[in-house]
Structures are given as C-alpha cells and as structure tokens.
Amino acid sequence: MIKWTFSILLFCVFPFSSFSDLMTDFSGGTLDPGVNLDVPNAGLATISLDTTNNELDMTTTGNTDMWTARNNAPMAWTSRPVVTSGQTWYAETFVRYNGAADGAQRVAGITLWPGPDGTGGSSGGMDFSLGINDWDNRGVEFQGWGASFIGDTGLRNIPATVNNESAAHLRLEVTENGASDAYVGYWKANLADPWIQFASFNSAVDNTRVGLFFKNGGLTVPADRSASFEYFNVRVIPEPSAMALFGLGSVMLLLRCRGLRG
C-alpha cells in the first residue's frame, strides 16, 4: 500500500518530469555517467575532462568539418529526455573558444542526431546546430549542415544579432509535436543576463540524441583547435520547484515512519 501511495504522489508532484534529465557542471573529478563521449578518430580529435577548471575540453588536430557528413567530429552526448506529445525539453551549455578570436574555421555548440553515431549530414544525421560560428563571421546562430537548412525558414543559417562573441551560453528548447517539432534558440553572454530569443522554426529532424560538438576546418593553428564547455543541462519543462521537492521529501519521510510502525 505504501509503495502504491508513493507512486501516485510522485506522479502528482512530477506529472511532466523525466528521470533521464541531465545536469552536470563537469566538477567532482569524474564525468557524469549520463554523458557519453564519441570520438570516431582519436588521431583527429580528443575529448577530456579538465578537473582543474571543471570543464569539458574538445580539441582537434585535423579536418573535422562536419558539413555534408560527420567527418569524425567529436561529440559528448546524452539521450533526449522521455517526453510525451506537446511537452518541451531543453539543452543548455556554455561554450568558450580558446586561441584566436576570428577566422579560425570552427563551430562549437549543441546539435542533434539519431544515432548511433550521426553518420549522416544535411539529410541523414546532424541536420543543424545551435552554436558559435567562428568560420567567417563569429556569431551565435543556427546553422544547417549542408547546402540548405531544413527548418521552415528556407535559410541555411539563422544568425543572432551581430554579437562577435567568442564565448556564450546557449539554450535550445524543443517541443515534441510528432512528425515535426518546434525549436527555439536562445543565447546570452553572461550567466546573470536574461536569455535572448533569436530564432524559432519547425523541423522533422530526429532528435533522439542531443550533444555538444566541436568542428574544425583543419586550417587553424594549434592554439585555435580547442573549445571548452562549462556545463551541460538537458531537462524537461516545467522543472520541479523547490517547494515540490520539499513536499515530496516530507511525504517520503511520513510514509517511511508509518511503514516502520506498521
């Protein structure tokens, strides 16, 4: 009886939540078990946990341009949260380029793909990303991986305002609507700043996996071949409130006490 009561209360407190959510700031000395590292060619790229600065570092030593194919680009990914139709989830990170500020032939941020390793490109794998494009104009944008963008805008790229950023907080919100899902992009320069929405569109891309990536054209100098991520959150909206968590804890304690007495 206690187990059934707890299950009902848990559903009432968290009717929209998922227990596959991920929240990690890359601290603690070990990688969160929900983060999977995918480096197809260790001779071209690496991913390492920096336990001194509490960040995830990606480096490349050759061309991993991920344009119409993945081309060995490194990724750190997690599975999309378990959601139902009409629910919204988000992926969020902070990414910083290391090295020179401009023209470094690199893009880093958040992307989506079906798995197992995103071997497609503009039509079968990582169709687009939300990231900092430092290839030619250094700005936050949605970028299609190929000749065209699959969103309903018909554009290859959807840039934010001309921000000239080498580091940014990025947030991608996804509302699951069946065959075609709704995507909204946000960015901000500093943690305390409000989120700036700069794009929204619909897409039929498979978003089974969501991950961090770093792609490089291969012409950069060694100092420009790394990007660092300070956190990676993938969660369902709405998130549980502090009051709900307190209430759930109280219920669990009460049920446990009654169980011990009975």
> Domain check: are 184 and 157 in the same one?
yes
Whether residue 151 is predicted with pLDDT greater than 60 in this model: the reply is no
> How far from each other are the two terminal CA atoms of the chain, in whole angstroms?
11
Contacts of 241 (CB under 8 A, 6+ apart): none
Mark whether 96 and 180 lie in a shared domain: yes
Which pLDDT band holds residue 121 (cuts at 50, 70, 90)?
very low
pLDDT digits (tens, 9 = 90+) for 178-199: 888 999 999 999 999 999 999 9
Statement to judge: residues 78 and 44 lie in one domain: yes
Q: Note whether 177 and 250 are same-domain residues.
A: no
Domain coverage including residue 183 = 19-239
- Give the count of domains, the chain: 2
pLDDT, tens digit, for every residue of 52-65?
999 999 999 888 98
Closest CA to 106 of 223, 212, 220, 221: 220
Question: What are phi and psi for residue 24, nearest 5 degrees?
Answer: -145, 140
Confidence of residue 69 (pLDDT cuts 50, 70, 90): confident
At 259, the amino acid letter reads: G
Mean pLDDT, rounded, for 34-59? 95
Asked if 8 and 69 sit in the same domain, the reply is: no
Over residues 3-24, the mean pLDDT reads 50
Does the pLDDT at position 126 exceed 90?
A: no
From 68-77, 80-89, 235-244, the region with the lowest mean pLDDT = 235-244
Q: Same domain, yes or no, for 12 and 27?
A: no
CATH code of the domain in which 54 resides: 2.60.120.200
**CA–CA gap between residue 202 and residue 221 (Å, rounded):** 37
Shared domain check, 46 and 121: yes
